[in-house]
Structure 1
C-alpha cells in the first residue's frame, strides 16, 4: 500500500514542480507602480493621447514603448502602470507630442502623482531647397506654429548623457525663419533644440526658456544625405523656478554659496558628482544662485556624492572662474539617503588662478 501511495505522489509532484522538496516556490511579483497626471497644450487638456515609458536602462527611445497608458480622457487624465525604475516619458497622438521635461524620471514603488505633461503640435518638415551641407540634418524650429529664431540645436549619439549637456555636436543659432543646418556623418542621432533667455549654453533651463525634442527621434542619417525635420518647442513655465527642491526627484541638498568672508555669491551653481575629482560632467546642476546665495539641488536617488559649486560649466574651471567644494569632511564625501532633504550645506567659492 505504501509503495502505491508513493507511485501516485510522483506524478502529482511532476505536475506541480514548485512543491518538490528543496526547490522554493517562485516569489510573487510586486505590484506595479502607478504614474498619474494630465496632458494639455498651453490652453486646454487634450484627449486621446498615449503616454508611454521607455526604461532608461534600455538605451533607446526607438520602436514601441514597453509600457503605455490608455489614451487620455476628456479632461486629459492618464494612468500608467509599470515597475519601479527610471524611465523616459513620451506622449503622442491626435497630432500632438511631448518629451517630458524632467526626463529621465525615477518612479519609486509608491508611484508618482499629478504629472503635468505639456504637448506641442507636430509639424511636417520643410522642403529643403539647396542645403549647404552634404550630410546631416536641416530644418526648422517652431514655437506655437511660428519660426523661432536664436535656438541652438543639440545632437546626441545615444542616451548616455540623458540628452543633457552639449552633446556630440551643436548647431545654430536658428535664423529669422527658424532654419538650421547641422553637418554630421552617417549614423543615428537624437536631435533636441533649446533657446535660453540668458547667456549660458548649458545647465538647467529656467522659466521663459524654450525646449524641443524632434518627435521622430532617433534620426537615421544616411551617407551623403541631409534629413529634413521640424522641431516643435515648448516654453518652460514660471512654476519651474519654484520647484527646484523636487524638480528632478524627491532627494535634495540645499544651502548657501558664499565667499571667504561669508558673503553670499550670486550667479553660481551647485553641482553634484559621483567622482571625487569633481571636474568631469556633473550628474546634477542647480539653478544659478540669486543675491542671497541660496541653492537647492534635487535628484532622484540616494548614494555617495561629491558636492561643488562653480559659475561656469563645461570643462575644468579656468583662471578667473569661481569654484569651491563642500568641505564638511576631509574627503568631501556626502552619503545621502533616498528621499532625504539635507540642508545647511554651505559651499565657499573663490576665484581660480
Structure 2
C-alpha cells in the first residue's frame, strides 16, 4: 500500500474526512456558542472596529487570527465560536485630528475568555497606540497654559509631554500630546511627577514628523515641570519660533542625514509591491540591529525611492521603519532587507549600490 511519510494513504484520507466532518458539524450547529459585546473609544461606541480572536496569548500571537468580527454602528459585535478558551483583541484604524491615520487597539481585560455556550463580554475601550505611554492621570492633577509666538496665541499647536530628555524632546517617544484651542490654550491631565514639555505646529497640522522650514517649534523654558498630586498648575507660556531653512540644513549637515559619495539606493514597497512613502531606512554595523542605527535615510518619496548615505564602506545591516525613534508601536510599517539572509549588504567607499526592493509590513 502507498505511504505518505510512512503513513498509509487510507489513514490520511480517513483523518481529513473526520476533520472535515467536525468543522462541517460545527458550521451547521445553531448559534448557541460564541461571544457578544461592545467596543468603545472612551465612552463612545466604536463602529467599524475589528474584534479578533486568537488561540494564544499576546506574547505568542504571531499567526493570523482564528476568527474576526466587525462592530456595527452601535459598536456591537457577535461571533459564533466552538467551546474553548480565547484571547480577544479590538482594533481599528481611523483618521485622527491631524488628518493622519491613528491606530486604536486594546486587549479584552477579561482575557482569556472561556466560551461555554453564549458569553456576553463586558464592553472595553480601545486607545490610540503610541500615545499615553502608560501614564494614568490622577484626580485633580494637571498642567495648563498657552503656546504663543511673537506675543500672539498659536492655535492648533501640539504640546508634547516627555518623561526624560533622552530623545532631545523630539520624535514619537513622548508620553502624551494635546492640541491647543483657538486661543492657544491647552490642559493635560497627568499623574504626579517630573516632565519636559515641547510644542510644535507643522504646516500640515500633523502630530508626527520632523519640523520643516516655516513650522513653529519650541520647548518650555521652565523644564522640567514638577507636577504635584491633586494640583492643577498654570505654566508660563511656551514660546515657539519659526524653523529657519538654515537651521534645519545645519542640523542635517551635522547629523546622520548628511550627503556623502557612499550610499545605498533603492525602493520601499509593501507585500504587493506598491511603493511606500514616508519610510526611514536604517543602516547598522551590528547584525543584531538593536539600539540606535549608525545611519538614517530621509523618508522615502512618493515612488518609494530612498538614498541612504554612509561615511565609509563596509558591511551594513539594513532595516526600515515608518517612524524615527521611540519604541515600536502597533500600526507602524517595518521591514528588513531581504537581499541576504542576514539582512546585510556590502559597499565600497565612494560607491553607490542599488539594493533590491525593501519590503515593509504593518505590525500590530
Q: TM-score range by the shorter chain?
A: 0.3 to 0.5
When normalised by structure 1's length, the TM-score is: 0.48
State the TM-score, normalized to the length of structure 2: 0.46
